[in-house]
Amino acid sequence: MLLHRVVALVLPPQSTFELACAAEVFGVARPGLPAGYQFDVCAEHPGAVATLAGYDMVVTRGLRALAAADTVVIPGWQRREQPAPPAVIDALRRAHGRGARIVAICSGAFLLAQAGLLDQRRATTHWRMAAEFAALFPGVQVDADTLYIDLGDVATSAGTAAGIDLCLHLVRQDHGAAHAAQVARHMVMPPHREGGQLQYAAAPPAAHAPESLGPVLDWAVERLHEPLTVSDLAARANLSSRTLARRFTEQLGISPGQWLLQRRITAARALLEETDLAVEAIATRVGLSTATNLRRRFRTMVNTTPAAYRRSFGRAART
């Protein structure tokens, strides 16, 4: 597996959690998993960098590290109301100009916007900062409801755990769904969330929060090969279909049907990567009935065909 170089650009005072999101996904060697990334950290001025946690971190590399990065991660930017250092803006523009992928976690989107990398494009950030972001950068199409947005050359995420969601999404894009699932499993993370899901759920009007959908989701994932319907999920949860749909919107931000299709396509991706099964057999195993149906759904969600996906991420490609 060719190592993909990821460099995180830290800016004082640095959020330790947002930096840790990138470091945990891209920088940790995991037993039994091939290394897919080389991870590094740089700063405008090498040396001590203040953090929000009350201690300084020592960063040994300067902005030159960005010149060799395949992906540049901006793990938040706390001084978003101030002009960014010209040297930082120039380094980001140079990296983007030569083809590096630029990724912003949470408030890092403000830095990308200052660099002009989001002009007339969609972006997201933490919902609490969305109005401020839109006011500062009217040329950016701010989507405050999504977890993350990946435009290919540029990606942005909401705050906190959405940064991990985005990083795992990028692993799926780079090395396939099976590899990303193994990384998530090592991190004890739940099945991945799609970027279009809501950042947060509306507060339920009832006095008591609704019960978690976890048990019914686990039950469904174990039965993807069966012709499950939304009615089946509702019956398992002992709810009406309408109440189930409301619970899905509150807890996951999507409908039961959308969630079920996402799980089926994720399972199909893993089978395309890890087995030599025919597309027809995979369609049956993931509950999509026919190869034609799988191909149509797969192209809609993954923007490619099952055959092309297997050529990129299957066993032969890895060999």
**Contact between residue 50 and residue 56 where contact means Cβ atoms under 8 Å apart:** yes
Residue 271's closest CA among 168, 172, 177, 169?
177
Q: Note the pLDDT of residue 202.
A: 42
Q: Answer yes or no: is pLDDT of 217 > 60.
A: yes
Reported confidence tier of residue 314, pLDDT bands at 50, 70, 90: confident
Q: Which range among 149-153, 188-192, 210-214, 288-292 shows the weakest confidence by mean pLDDT? A: 188-192
Reported confidence tier of residue 184, pLDDT bands at 50, 70, 90: confident
Q: Note the pLDDT of residue 169.
A: 92
pLDDT, average across residues 126-148:
92
Domain spans in the chain, listed from the N-terminal domain onward: 4-186, 204-319
**3-class SS shares of the chain: helix, strand, coil, % to 5:** 45, 15, 40
Reported confidence tier of residue 201, pLDDT bands at 50, 70, 90: very low
Q: Note the pLDDT of residue 1.
A: 56
Cβ within 8 Å of residue 169, ≥6 positions away: 148, 150, 180, 192, 195
pLDDT, average across residues 150-160:
92
Strand order in the sheet with 37-43: 37-43, 4-10, 71-75, 101-105, 154-157, 148-150
Superfamily in which the 4-186 domain is placed by CATH: Class I glutamine amidotransferase (GATase) domain (3.40.50.880)
Reported confidence tier of residue 99, pLDDT bands at 50, 70, 90: very high
What is the pTM (predicted TM-score) of this model? 0.73
Q: How many CB atoms lie within 10 A of CB 192?
A: 18
Q: Note the pLDDT of residue 137.
A: 96
Reported confidence tier of residue 194, pLDDT bands at 50, 70, 90: low
In the numeric block, the tokens 């060799």 are attached to 68
Superfamily in which the 204-319 domain is placed by CATH: Homeodomain-like (1.10.10.60)
pLDDT, average across residues 58-66:
97
The C-alpha angle with vertex 2 and arms to 172 and 18, in degrees rounded to 5, equals 50
Q: Note the pLDDT of residue 205.
A: 42
Residue 158's closest CA among 149, 167, 150, 148?
148
Angle between helices 306-313 and 291-302 (to 10 degrees): 70
Q: What is the mean pLDDT of the chain?
A: 89
